[in-house]
Structure 1
């Protein structure tokens, strides 16, 4: 009879977190039959069933949930002690990172460079998505750490601020030379779930401007291309248009809005994985590059 090993407990933890044997197998980089075998081994060793059938799925029963809740802190604590003893030199595994487009452009490259330098055994799987979906993926266990526009408030999520980004009213040089909003212009924005959309509406009201039309696009880089070709104006993140402004392909046509977009890194409140907690701590030391070119008078 095999003894209960750490990988048995890790398997139970991921089944509990992700909800299925198949998802746990994918996260552990193994097969579903291997996960099933581990479950059988621990049940045989304990002499107790840890799962019950729920429709077509197998879910942890009350005994199984108690075991996971009691053992998870012990397993992660031991792993962290061993990693800290080696200064995380042996840290391995795949960490699934989610990010919004603006956060990805503003802070993710520095974060990735830091991890590649100090944690070479850690594999990063990065995916860009909208904030609402990132939060859902984080809570469901499909993402380990996410970078998104805040503030985010949820009892299941722990966050740390990583800085803010200035916004600018940008248009093509031709639009600027024609007086900008001296004549009605179409305005482009991210969809209404984005904080930039709210800033756009508020700023137009503050300046008493009636846009000829308000269009939306869910991709900032596409917005930049649209505006740069003279198709109107948009409120855009300064960090993503800095080179365009310096190069002259975009110009600022109104004073910068006083509102900034704030960003946070987030993990689950229940997160116990030492490597993920280490990355989260490192994310908290990030600072978005807020140096900027001179705003128009």
Structure 2
């Protein structure tokens, strides 16, 4: 009688929880044909069909749904054993990590280089996007972890506080008279901000409520670098991370703008799937806690 293996259990678990054979095969770094072979072998060992194979989606049968919590328990036990024996050696393979533009263009290279020294067999792949997209890809299994500013209460995700970013109002150096307030300037100039699904848009919403500023024209962009360029060109007033902007402030390409209502700080959190107990997640989380620095300057300036 054939016996189930760890590789078969992994194939079943990720196909079941990702809801996609394609995503599961990518996560395990194997071809879809290899994934399918492992699933068939597992079904033969259990003498039960685990998936309804009537399309590309990984839809569980009743037997598959019943087996899922048992498979999860077995895999968690294996991870605990591996971690207790030699966690460093277990951290290898490909890990897909999602971040926002600010982290990617400032302190993220330090995270990558630090992980490379500690875990040379780990291949970290970075994906830069807005928080809502990172969350979607994390839930689907396309990402293993992500740093997101926008809060999530999804029951499938776990998170811990990571760091804060201090935002300030800025404008082109010749746009406003010295001593001008943002509250007054927005009557004549638009505000440029990230798109609505970005975490930093909540800072503008909260500022408007607390300052009771009059409605104004808003220009949206999905790029912080573009926003900085528009501000420097005198197209609009903007708000950006103070540390990230340090080179532009030092060169006087843009200047701070006074306000009677300071912007809130933006809280960033490290997210991962609640059901993912692999040692690589712990290693990534611990390193992010050590090196995350949203006061770091934009590296390209």
TM-score by length of 2: 0.84
Residue in 2 aligned with 1:189?
193
Q: Distance in 2 between matches of 1:229 and 1:58?
A: 50
- 8 A contact 1:189–1:214 mirrored in 2: yes
Alignment of 1:154-165 (within 5 A): 154-165=154-165
> Structure 1 pair 83/204, CA: closer, same or farther in 2 (3 Å)?
closer
Q: Distance in 2 between matches of 1:287 and 1:35?
A: 36
Does 2:12 match 1:37? no
Residue in 2 aligned with 1:279?
284
> Structure 1 pair 43/214, CA: closer, same or farther in 2 (3 Å)?
closer
Gaps of 5+ in 2: none
**Matched position secondary structure for 1:192:** coil
Q: Distance in 2 between matches of 1:41 and 1:105?
A: 45
> Structure 1 pair 273/258, CA: closer, same or farther in 2 (3 Å)?
same
Residue in 1 aligned with 2:248?
244
Alignment of 1:99-118 (within 5 A): 99-105=99-105, 107-118=107-118
**Matched position secondary structure for 2:169:** strand
Give 1:59 deviation, angstroms.
2.5
Deviations 1:209-266 (A, max 9, x none): 6576322212111000111112221111113211111221111021472411110010
Q: Distance in 1 between matches of 2:196 and 2:38?
A: 47
Comparing 267-276 and 101-110, the one that deviates more: 101-110
Give 1:179 deviation, angstroms.
5.9
Comparing 23-32 and 162-171, the one that deviates more: 23-32
Residue in 2 aligned with 1:295?
none
Q: Distance in 1 between matches of 2:83 and 2:124?
A: 18
Deviations 1:117-142 (A, max 9, x none): 21111111211111112111111212
Length, aligned pairs only: 292
Residue in 1 aligned with 2:231?
227
Give 1:205 deviation, angstroms.
6.6
Alignment of 1:206-221 (within 5 A): 210=214, 213-221=217-225
- 8 A contact 1:103–1:263 mirrored in 2: no
Alignment of 1:258-277 (within 5 A): 258-277=263-282
RMSD: 2.8
- 8 A contact 2:191–2:238 mirrored in 1: yes
Runs of 4+, deviation exceeding 6 Å: none
Does 2:172 match 1:167? no
> Structure 1 pair 176/93, CA: closer, same or farther in 2 (3 Å)?
same
Deviations 1:134-167 (A, max 9, x none): 1111112121101010433222211111111111
TM-score by length of 1: 0.85
Deviations 1:184-215 (A, max 9, x none): 22321123344433433554676676576322
Residue in 2 aligned with 1:139?
139
- 8 A contact 1:99–1:147 mirrored in 2: yes
Comparing 256-265 and 105-114, the one that deviates more: 105-114
